Chains A and B, each alone.
Chain A
Amino acid sequence: MTDTRPPILETRGLTMRFGGVVAVDNVDFSLAEGELRCLIGPNGAGKTTFFRCLTHQYKPTSGHVMYRGDDITGLHTHQIARLGIGIKTQVPSLFDGLGVHENIWISARRHHKDREANKAADQILERLSLGHLAKKVVGQLAHGERQGVELAIVLTGDPELILLDEPTAGMTHEEVSRTTEMIREINRTASLIVVEHDMQFIKAIANKVTVFNQGAILVEDTMENVLRNQQVRDVYLGKREVA
């Protein structure tokens, strides 16, 4: 299966070591413009570390991260964000002491003037059906609501590439199905990398899946093929002992 669209994000030989532990091992990865890719793998497979290397939260031991053909390996997190890369973390990362509207305003103000920032914040709250939370302090919200607010913050910047780390963790079924719709909608205008554990959710959104194991890419294929792949089954369920 080959994708003819130009790559928006690539990694070449990306490696991250913590002492003797190789968390990400020589990973060559490519995401095409407009693509939605899911990263899966058992706990400790290196997905989140790989994610953090992409955004310079971890400085890779070696290798390169390329965005639209430019090497962004040495850039700081804020510089990477300014290129149009939105980041949503595993545990919602928000300005807890501030109100929901203020959280989104801070995001919008990076891209707009004062008045337009207010308008942009109002629009995104309406789009994500979060208007009723606008005046609430973020620290007092339930986990699912916090996930929604973080997504709103990320989308406010109109990013071209969005990195979502477990976007449905802690959400109710209803919230998951709403998020599924939303991610499909977002994918019309932006490329996405989604790290997830929820297989139903992945089936609903993914065309192509990358399976991580022990810091390296094990398989990269369509969801159906990945589910049929024996190596993947072995990794998730354990290898059957042959007598």
Chain B
Amino acid sequence: MKIALNLNSWNTRGLIFVGVLMLALLLGGPEVFDLFVLLKVILFISTAMLALSMAFIWGFGGILCFGQSAFFGLGAYAYAIGVINIGESTVPILLSVLVPAGFAILLGYFIFYGRLSDIYLAVVTLAVTLILYAFIRSTSGEEYVIGSARLMGFNGISSIPVFNWPGFPNSPLWPDDIFYVAMTLLILVYFGFRVLLRSRFGRVVVAIKENETRAEYLGYDVRFYKMITFSIGAGVAGLAGCLFVSFNNFINPDVFALGLAAQIIMWVLIGGVGTLVGPMLGSLALQMLYNWLGTQSFVSFLNTYLVFGAIILFFVLAVPQGLQPTARLLALRFLPFTRSPEEAEEADRARQGAGDD
């Protein structure tokens, strides 16, 4: 029995399942995890949000951006510079979304209104990331100051103030509170994307990914839709960067480096292109794998990167659809209660068809 997997369907049961899991983590996290683990979880939430941003623009918008780390870095730096200057975190958090989103509008205007093909889009976004990396690394001199924030070049900015209660700059959030904020934001972004994808805008974005020319024939301005999609992704990546800073109190130009840019694509690839939960799990799985490999003596004999790369290569070849679609297919087949009414109907048809043969 073969059941077609329709990732564009609005799977209520799946959403409830994800929602309950996320809520459980939100409410139980600080009770279950000790401080060290909790800080690690905040880092994972930040990278999960970064993975979500890429999952949205690539998996649903068809925009393969090699520069998502640039928006992550811009968000992080926007927050750091903002909070050092303002001394309060509310406006800088907003800046961490608006600065990368605005930058993406500008970059996207030239890319999409200039009708650059997908391959040039990848090259341009990668080039922009590397330019930002080179630029920020070269800002060690005293002249590179924005207000009272020194950029510090490759040394990075340290002692960045953490989030505070809105309007109370002298009341910083404790790690527990930062966890609540980060997890709430992740839930909001995830369900925000889900709602967006069911809206007119989201459905048109998916249609454009399927067939740009047909969308134009129907009167949709593809350039505009892609630019806005790109910008939404950048804003979310910037927010992820802001969470990263709040976990670290530190930011350096490595957020713009090629390594992170490539990792984000791998998270989505491993998790499943065209899904939202998959890339979040992909980011978690790959980071845990990398951390675990780093502690293994047999790996140091070889090279952590080499073993890591080999495992990813094997996984992509063995499970080309990615984690979420594979898990969903298995669930559809072996756990009938997870099927939506349409999927149950299709399964019945497939069973009858097999019986006819």
* Interface residues of A, Cβ cutoff 8 Å to B: 55, 57, 76-79, 81-82, 86-87, 89, 93-99, 102-103, 105-107, 109-110, 114, 135, 137, 140, 153, 157
Contact = CB atoms under 8 A, between A and B. Distances in A.
Contacts of B219: 78-79, 81-82, 110, 157
Contacts of A109: 200, 203-204
B217 interface: yes
Nearest to B345: A135
A44 to B, nearest CB: 22
A102 B203 CA distance: 9
A106 B4 CA distance: 22
B202 to A, nearest CB: 11
Contacts of A79: 219
Contact of A77 (B4, B204, B216): B216
B6 interface: yes
27 contacts: A76-B221, A78-B215, A78-B216, A78-B219, A78-B220, A78-B221, A78-B222, A93-B211, A93-B213, A94-B211, A95-B211, A96-B211, A98-B206, A98-B210, A99-B6, A102-B8, A105-B203, A106-B203, A106-B204, A109-B200, A109-B204, A110-B219, A135-B342, A137-B6, A153-B214, A153-B218, A157-B218
B207 interface: yes
Given A96-B211, A106-B218, 18 more contacts: A57-B213, A78-B215, A78-B217, A78-B221, A82-B219, A93-B211, A93-B213, A93-B214, A95-B211, A95-B214, A95-B215, A97-B8, A97-B210, A103-B207, A107-B218, A109-B204, A137-B4, A153-B214
List of 10 A-B pairs having minimum Cβ-Cβ separation, nearest first: A95-B210, A81-B219, A82-B219, A77-B216, A87-B217, A93-B214, A106-B207, A78-B216, A95-B207, A97-B210
Nearest to A150: B214
Contacts of B203: 102, 105-106, 109
A58 to B, nearest CB: 13
B114 to A, nearest CB: 13
Contacts of A99: 6
A93 B4 CA distance: 22
B217 to A, nearest CB: 4
A52 to B, nearest CB: 11
A114 to B, nearest CB: 7
B219 to A, nearest CB: 4
Contacts of B220: 78, 110
Nearest to A55: B217
A95 B203 CA distance: 11
Nearest to B209: A97
A137 B346 CA distance: 12
A77 B217 contact: yes
Contacts of B207: 95, 98, 102-103, 106
A96 B215 CA distance: 12
A95 B8 CA distance: 12
B181 to A, nearest CB: 34
A98 B214 contact: no
A76 B213 CA distance: 12
Interface string B12-39: 0000000000000000000000000000
B9 to A, nearest CB: 9
B218 A110 contact: yes
Contacts of A106: 203-204, 207, 215, 218
